[in-house]
Structure 1
């Protein structure tokens, strides 16, 4: 991921964080990290940044619990980012579609017939369309956050459960949680060479 992609991803995470904080629930840092699918330390860093900019304020609640609340300035920033990322995601479809087509065509040329997806969000849906166009089969879908749900009639499995089925090639199919998903797969013992990322394939 290049520097421009990192900036876009950070901006998108800021937007997601502001969106979660703007809801009625009082969420802890741990709860925010779980919802966004990123590390607790990263959420802490983002929140400090948002507080410093005046977008978020910290409120004390009983039992030594903290809550994060959007300021008027924070609501304005959330609206600005929403507009910015609407434009971004209209372009994401075209870019991601081509990236996944390139990756799947390369895998098909190497003799691959089936792949597993790791990560379920709007990027995974784009990846699925590219997969079907190339003619590969979806072996299984993994995502701790979406375990138990269906993805195009395919049950979503927790990574530990999915890996027990011994999938071959695993494709990261989430933009916003790609790094976290890769780290989880590696922690569970998956060889780095078995993990594929469409954006990385572009540079090859």
Structure 2
């Protein structure tokens, strides 16, 4: 991924927040058959230290395609997490010349997956379902009934869980940090307005990333 110091996302807490907010992940493996990509949700293995660990699973036979060796011999995986993104028109900056661009937040996470036992996989599946079901008024949990519990056992047999300790990463957040506050504010307004490139989620993230710049402008006022 092309690096730019203006857009670097180096804060580990910020990267973890991106993963929590956008857990739909692309896993890419370089296998003897070529590049293979699969899509699955992820969770963080929460801890108090500075380690970044992903928990996930794949449906069989994706574990074979991705090279998740049951004998413990797995190859390196690339996990790609992507936050809100969208087109930014040069007409939104309030000055010219400018070029079209795309704002985005993403993290590229590398590590060698560790295949989980059936018991560990079941525990991860329980956590995953509970995480996404808990906001609902009538959560449908894997172990809420005896019938659900039996169904959960069948799911475990059809999936392979894994833990992925991240050994290297690249993260980037391009939210017009290098532009004047007036332009940033105008772009945010355009993203919140109805139109072909409306993206309230991207506008919210832009506002959060540029909070200090926008607040400084308010405090200083016009010259």
The TM tier, using the shorter chain, reads under 0.3
What's the TM-score once normalised by structure 1's chain length? Answer: 0.26
What's the TM-score once normalised by structure 2's chain length? Answer: 0.24
Q: Who wins on radius of gyration, i.e. which is larger?
A: 2
The structure with higher relative contact order (CA 8 Å, sep 6+) is 2
Q: Which has the larger helix fraction?
A: 1
